[in-house]
Structure 1
Amino acid sequence: MPLIKHPLAAFPLVYLGWAYLFWIPVLLSDSSVWALPNLIWFLIGGASPVVAGLGLAAANGGKKQMGDLWRRLTDWRRIPGRWWLIILFFWLAYDLAMAGLAVLLGVTGEPLDTNWQLFVNPGPLLFLLVLSFVFPAVEEVGLRGFYLEALQQRFSPVVAGLVNGAVWALWHAPFVFFPGYYANTTFHPELYWWMPMIICHTLLIVLVYNRTGRSILAVLIFHAMMNFNGEWLRISPEMYPFMLFGNLALAALLIMFWKSGRQSPPNTC
């Protein structure tokens, strides 16, 4: 049986293999990732979630599976009203709570440097919104819409989320080494806290995905709001290692909730 018919193994191989193949020239370069030709290599490699997700969906499920992906990406009615509130405001509430806790514990006196001017300058606001949504749009269709879906057909939400998150973290690891990638942002990740944080985020994404009728749109917006709030609030660099503890606590609570068996069945409309 061809490997392509085994999506649990085929997806990470295509997803990571395609990306790393085109990103090697960028990693070996002394020029910024945003300079040509590095930008071209970066964008081609960055398309790997779409290449892997849509390619394997077409190969395994044909038009039926492609149509299912499209419906779950575009049908906003799958998302219950209360989950819209969670999707839109969870990260804002979480970031503010962690900032307050950091001040109380003496981690930092200035956890945030909020950019209020963003809301009176439509140009920068639009640019940030586009950036916040473009990358999740590329990632979520394949990574969650196809791969997480396949994982959950065989494994529990916990195992599926951990595997999905680990693969997602491996895809992001080269970003730390891309020359100049984070030059104009407030986010400067280090692998020791960023990789486990990505896995924790994935468990939250699994919860959103399962409670919104397997909605790709829901997890796309949830992911985008995480990006947007981080840049709007301008979370200070010393906050991120501290925020890992908050992520680990949320992940542990979520795992205990799943393991308890008290949760309601996922909405699979």
Structure 2
Amino acid sequence: MDKRQMSTKENTLDQSRLVESMKRHPVVWFFGITLSFTWIYELLIFGILKLPMYYLVPGGYGPTLTAIFLTIMTSGRTGIRNIAQRCLYWRTGWRWYLVVFGSLPALMLLCILLIPAAKAALQMPTYTAALTYIPLFILTLLLFGPLAEEVGWRGFALPLLQQRYGPLVGTVILGGFWGMWHLPLFLFVPGYNGAGADIGSKLLAFFLFVIFCIPLAILFTWVFNGTRGSLLMVIILHTVNNTSPVWLFLGSVPKSIGDGILKYLFTIGLALLAVLLLLMTRGRLRYKRSL
């Protein structure tokens, strides 16, 4: 056997070991690649080059791109076909559509009504504004979070975490990583999600955001399990979270209220909703091993 053949054989063995490692530890690989890809990209774009926010899109696709890569490496066409089918699965029943489109806006509206100053400033959207929301919804779905993330978070990581740790612990782990994945934005984007200018206020805002992500992840898990693993429904729910509660109701509420008491009240309301879902499902969040 000549040196070229030996080198080819060694490369084949290395690739085989790599794929075997991905099969044995898919969640570790997923979180490792996802965080590395997005953090390095956002450090370069926002921390070093100081570019505008619309450069966020490629880095935001870290979870979905990682999930597709690992699925190809470990499951091939069968795994990709499964992801595609779940992204298109819409026959979940009309009640789930009410939950997906209405739960978070209703919770936000309730929180606004509990604050006298916010309630006084609230103005419901006009017909023209409602029509404007449609292209905003589509743009957000495609570019700013939902499609870029959910194939990874709920499509790849959540089923594996639920199988190993159960629905509650698995969701808490996922929610923590989901929140931590946003760290560079708090550090390098001025005012991101209420972060101040000094490092202390940035880290505090980041910590509160991670806490917020955990009950939100519980809601997402409940919807994902209840709709038999429909990625389409959690993608839509993610889009609603990113658009309608803020755009429909906060536009007329003073920013000081929105970034202050209203944000904390909404987090508390979301936590109470998560507790209610856990009590209703005895901690199972409608999980079935077949998902």
Q: Report TM bin, short chain.
A: 0.7 to 0.9
- Give the distance between the partners of 2:286 and 2:53, measured in 1 at CA: 46
Question: Please, which moves more after superposition, 211-220 or 133-142?
Answer: 133-142
Cα pair 1:34 1:180 within 8 Å, conserved: no
Alignment of 1:51-90 (within 5 A): 51-77=65-91, 79-90=92-103
- Which residue does 1:50 correspond to in 2? 64
Deviation at 1:94, TM superposition (A): 0.9
- Which residue does 1:242 correspond to in 2? 265
- Give the distance between the partners of 2:97 and 2:165, measured in 1 at CA: 27
- Which residue does 2:198 correspond to in 1? none
Deviation at 1:123, TM superposition (A): 7.7
- Which residue does 2:133 correspond to in 1? 125
Deviation at 1:248, TM superposition (A): 1.9
Q: What is the TM-score with the length of structure 2 in the denominator?
A: 0.77
Cα pair 1:74 1:217 within 8 Å, conserved: yes
- Which residue does 1:99 correspond to in 2? 112
Residue of 225, 243, 251 corresponding to 1:210: 225
- Which residue does 2:249 correspond to in 1? 233
- Which residue does 1:116 correspond to in 2? 125
Distance 1:154 1:145, change over 3 A: same
Q: Which amino acid aligns with 1:156?
A: G
Deviation at 1:258, TM superposition (A): 4.0
In the TM superposition, what whole-angstrom CA distance separates every residue of 1:110-154 from its partner, at most 9, and x where no partner exists?
Answer: 48644624x415884344213431220111111111111111221
Residue of 19, 22, 38 corresponding to 1:4: 22
Moved over 4 A (4+): 108-115, 121-124, 263-269
- Which residue does 1:19 correspond to in 2? 38
RMSD over aligned CA atoms reads 2.7
Cα pair 1:209 1:216 within 8 Å, conserved: yes
Alignment of 1:152-191 (within 5 A): 152-179=162-189, 188=194, 190-191=205-206
In the TM superposition, what whole-angstrom CA distance separates every residue of 1:79-123 from its partner, at most 9, and x where no partner exists?
Answer: 1221111111111211111222233xxxx4448644624x41588
Alignment of 1:137-156 (within 5 A): 137-156=147-166
- Give the distance between the partners of 1:125 and 1:59, measured in 2 at CA: 39
Cα pair 1:4 1:56 within 8 Å, conserved: yes
Cα pair 1:34 1:181 within 8 Å, conserved: no
In the TM superposition, what whole-angstrom CA distance separates every residue of 1:163-198 from its partner, at most 9, and x where no partner exists?
Answer: 11111101122222343585xxxx535224221111
Cα pair 1:32 1:180 within 8 Å, conserved: no
Cα pair 2:107 2:266 within 8 Å, conserved: no
Deviation at 1:260, TM superposition (A): 5.9
Distance 1:11 1:141, change over 3 A: same
- Which residue does 2:8 correspond to in 1? none
Cα pair 2:154 2:231 within 8 Å, conserved: yes
Question: Please, which moves more after superposition, 163-172 or 22-31?
Answer: 22-31
